[in-house]
Amino acid sequence: MGLGDWWRRLRKREDDEIVEHDLERQDQTEEERRYSSGDITAVEDDEFAARSEHEPSIEDANRLGEE
């Protein structure tokens, strides 16, 4: 197996993982996507920010920013 073959197999495996991940996220709600993103610190910070604005969730706080 040459370097080119190895590289093609690696890229195909990465592409397959991306497709699989997107298919899993397809059936998730927005809140589930935030928690499955893996950045727990950012999620906690978002929740704290929403509470400080007296909003029940970050989605509600974002709505205020969009209006």
Domain segments of the chain: what residues? 1-29, 37-67
In angstroms, how far apart are the furthest CA atoms of the chain? 60
Find all residues with CB under 8 Å of 64, minimum gap 6, and list them: 53, 55
Output the six-digit token pair for 2: 């040459």
Q: Which of 31, 33, 30 is nearest to 21 (CA)?
A: 33
Q: Tens digits of per-residue pLDDT, 28-48?
A: 787 777 767 667 777 777 778
Element (H, E) at 56: none
Read off the amino acid at residue 12: K
Q: What is the pTM of this model?
A: 0.39
Give percent above pLDDT 90 in the chain. Answer: 0
What's the whole-number mean pLDDT along residues 14-35? 80
